[in-house]
Amino acid sequence: MLGPSFPELLAAAQGGDEQAFAVLWRDLQPALLRYLRVAAPEAAEDLAADTWVSVICGLGRFRGDERAFRAWVFTVARHRAIDWRRQAARRPTNLVPGEQLAERPAPDDPVAQVLEAQSTQAALALLAELPPDQAEVVALRVLGGLEVGEVARIVGKRPGAVRVLAHRGLRRLAKRLEAAGLARGVTR
Amino acid sequence: MSDDDALGPDMHPLLGFLESTPPAAGQDLLERLLDGRLDPADAPSSYGELTRLLAAATAPATPEELTGEQAALAEFRALMPARPPTLVPRRAAMPSKLLTAKAALAALVAVLSIGGVAAAATGLLPGQVRPVAEQAPPTTAAARGLGKAAVADLDNATQGLCRAWQAGKGSDNGSRADASAFQALTAAAGGPEKVAGYCADVTAGSVGDHGQGQASAVGPDATAAARAGLCRAWQAGGGTDNGSQADASAFQALATAAGGADNIAGYCADVTAGSVGDHGQGQTSPPSGSRPSTPVSPPSSGPPPGAGPGGHGQGGSPTTTG
């Protein structure tokens, strides 16, 4: 978050100031990319770029504070991810759904990586293995830094439903991590 | 890792806790975790791994995550020209982009010829893109008494141009401004320095006066509302036979506006999202977010399709005139 400098930066970027836009971009891009690594892992980079194109096109018309800007950017990103998943589902070569991947013992098990190396990529991979509605809400809350009400607006659900989904997602993650930690403790 | 040993005795109570409905304190803890307000050092041992996971997920940005900056700035330069762009014609080098641009330009011409009322009102032929465009900046057209259909027509066509611009993003943004179709876009905006704002208005799904303007807007797929209607129809059929939908005559205009059948999904996502927040009907029940202090909804951040009445009202009339 940029804080007090945001309004000035936004106004400058809206006026075409490239450096001001760069500051906005650097502030949001990592979170955006991480969200997309959860929402559409195979296309995260491209979708992030697409998101920024939409944001640039709508920038001149944006009115709001930094939180609203953030929420808008993630709204656009979510649309891109939904479009991508829709198109991916129509492609002849279907990608293996995350749920199936989760049950395969991968050589680079994200659980182990999270527990041992605290790897960001592994953490995102674990988040991506949650059921999609849970993953989406947890990602928007944690990675997007958005509040319950903001996420509720973005995903079109009631705040209560957002809370429930996020809690379920976290408990599922905790269960998986603890089980893995226990298994590691036993085998050691 | 010694933490594992420390966690051992806690495992059974933890798993039992996870299986059952957690107490309210657990939910509060989860909310603090989600908000990033729970210091890992303060986390109970049963939440230790989860806290570490979330900390890893929100670790400081890495250089790899910022590698797209130059590309993003190039897009910014292309779409928001603050300075006069350097004009170096390179049409031959970008056939596919030009093709897309031509398709969008064709949409512009087609829409203008359909919107004969608008053209007649200005005393110009449909093909005379620039003069019509110059008379129809979105914020002033209504005040001038110009037919609102003209505003909507141009809105639609310009969206196509902006889409075409976006579709061709990548290597040679600088030269894109030179393509003849995009010169029309520049003319429509009233000058190169105004393209960005103009483009932002239309791609955000609405020009300022649609709330009042749609009552008198005419012409097939000329209004943002009608566009949203087409998009909703498209989305309603999504998942089953979108491929063949593109062939249906009703959607051909949509495909043209989107710059191709493959682009409809993305195009519609923006159109419908923008229309929900921007049109008059949506104002009766604004989504009550947690932050009422936010003055205005961002351009594309309306509730997802179905959350608001948006463009439905006019969506059914795209083929009534022509």
Q: Judge whether residue A59 has pLDDT over 90.
A: yes
- Which strand (E) or helix (H) includes residue A48? helix A44-59
Determine the distance in angstroms separating the CA of A145 from the nearest CA of chain B, rounded to an integer.
Answer: 7
Find out whether A138 and B54 touch, Cβ atoms under 8 Å.
no
Find out whether B228 and B267 touch, Cβ atoms under 8 Å.
no
Decide if B57 and A25 are in contact by the 8 Å CB cutoff.
no
> What is the Cα–Cα distance from A83 to B240, expressed in whole angstroms?
14
Buried b (16+ CB within 10 A) or exposed e, B111-142: bbebbbbbbebbebebeebeebbebbbbeebb
Decide if A170 and B50 are in contact by the 8 Å CB cutoff.
yes
The domain spanning residue A12 has which CATH number?
A: 1.10.1740.10
The predicted structure's pLDDT at residue A175: 87
Select the more confidently predicted residue: A186 or B313.
A186
Distance between terminal CA atoms of chain A?
42
Mean pLDDT of chain A, nearest integer = 88
The domain spanning residue A125 has which CATH number?
A: 1.10.10.10
The predicted structure's pLDDT at residue A152: 97
> Identity (one letter) of the amino acid at A105?
P
In chain B, residues with a C-beta closer than 8 Å to the C-beta of A148 are 31, 290
Cβ-based neighbours of B34, under 8 Å, separated by 6 or more: A138, A141, A142, A166, A170
Tens digit of each residue's pLDDT (9 = 90 or more) over B11-63: 444 444 444 444 444 888 899 889 988 877 777 777 788 888 999 999 999 99
How many structural domains does chain A have?
2
* Last residue of one domain, picked from the residues A68, A92, A116: A92
> What is the Cα–Cα distance from B15 to B155, expressed in whole angstroms?
57
In chain A, residues with a C-beta closer than 8 Å to the C-beta of B24 are none
By C-alpha distance, the chain A residue nearest B262 is A87
> What is the Cα–Cα distance from B298 to B205, expressed in whole angstroms?
11
Decide if A147 and B291 are in contact by the 8 Å CB cutoff.
yes
Cβ-based neighbours of B300, under 8 Å, separated by 6 or more: A54, A58, A72, A75, A76, A79, B204, B205, B270, B273, B274
Answer yes or no: do A5 and A80 share one domain: yes
pLDDT > 70: what percent of chain B? 17
Q: Judge whether residue A41 has pLDDT over 80.
A: yes
Determine the distance in angstroms separating the CA of B215 from the nearest CA of chain A, rounded to an integer.
Answer: 23
> What is the Cα–Cα distance from B284 to B263, expressed in whole angstroms?
32
Give A 94-113 residues with CB within 8 A of chain B.
Answer: none
Q: Judge whether residue A2 has pLDDT over 80.
A: yes
Tens digit of each residue's pLDDT (9 = 90 or more) over B282-310: 333 333 333 333 333 445 443 333 333 33
Buried b (16+ CB within 10 A) or exposed e, A69-100: bbbbbbbbbbbbbbbbbbeeeeeeeeeeebee
The predicted structure's pLDDT at residue B207: 35
> Identity (one letter) of the amino acid at B92?
A
Report residue B103 as tokens.
Answer: 């398709």
The predicted structure's pLDDT at residue B52: 87
Q: Judge whether residue A11 has pLDDT over 70.
A: yes
In chain B, residues with a C-beta closer than 8 Å to the C-beta of A25 are 69, 72-73
* Last residue of one domain, picked from the residues A92, A123, A154: A92
The predicted structure's pLDDT at residue A119: 87
Determine the distance in angstroms separating the CA of B79 from the nearest CA of chain A, rounded to an integer.
Answer: 7
Q: Judge whether residue A160 has pLDDT over 80.
A: yes
| ipTM entry | 0.86
Domain boundaries, chain B: 26-59, 89-278+299-315
Cβ-based neighbours of B36, under 8 Å, separated by 6 or more: A142, A145, B54, B58
Select the more confidently predicted residue: B14 or A74.
A74
Q: Judge whether residue A77 has pLDDT over 70.
A: yes
The predicted structure's pLDDT at residue A28: 97
Decide if B300 and A52 are in contact by the 8 Å CB cutoff.
no
Give B 213-232 residues with CB within 8 A of chain A.
Answer: none
> Identity (one letter) of the amino acid at B43?
A
The predicted structure's pLDDT at residue A76: 97
Q: Give Cα separations from B77 to A13, A53, A98, B20, B246 (angstroms).
A: 11, 11, 38, 55, 33
Whether residue A41 is contained in a domain is answered as yes
A10 in B contact zone (CB under 8 Å): no
Answer yes or no: do A110 and A138 share one domain: yes
The predicted structure's pLDDT at residue A141: 97
The predicted structure's pLDDT at residue B82: 52
Residue B29: how many CB atoms within 10 A of its CB?
Answer: 22
In chain B, residues with a C-beta closer than 8 Å to the C-beta of A115 are 1, 49, 52
pLDDT in tens, chain B (322 residues): 444 444 444 444 444 444 444 444 488 889 988 998 887 777 777 778 888 899 999 999 999 999 999 999 999 999 986 544 444 444 444 444 445 555 666 655 555 555 444 444 444 444 444 433 333 334 433 333 333 443 444 444 455 555 555 554 433 444 444 444 555 555 555 555 555 554 554 455 433 333 333 333 333 333 444 455 455 555 555 434 444 444 454 455 556 656 666 666 666 565 545 433 333 333 333 333 333 333 334 454 433 333 333 333 333 333 333 3
The predicted structure's pLDDT at residue B26: 80
This prediction's pTM: 0.52
Could you tell me the pLDDT band of residue A49, with boundaries at 50, 70 and 90?
Answer: very high
The mean per-residue pLDDT over the stretch A111-135 comes to 86
Cβ-based neighbours of B227, under 8 Å, separated by 6 or more: B156, B159, B221, B254, B257, B271, B275, B311
For B289, which of A53, A153, A173 is closest by C-beta distance? A153
The predicted structure's pLDDT at residue B268: 56
Find out whether B188 and B167 touch, Cβ atoms under 8 Å.
no
> What is the Cα–Cα distance from A16 to B104, expressed in whole angstroms?
25
Its domain, for residue A166, covers 104-188
* Last residue of one domain, picked from the residues A92, A121, A144: A92
Answer yes or no: do A161 and A128 share one domain: yes
Answer yes or no: do A68 and A110 share one domain: no
The predicted structure's pLDDT at residue A1: 86
The predicted structure's pLDDT at residue B47: 79
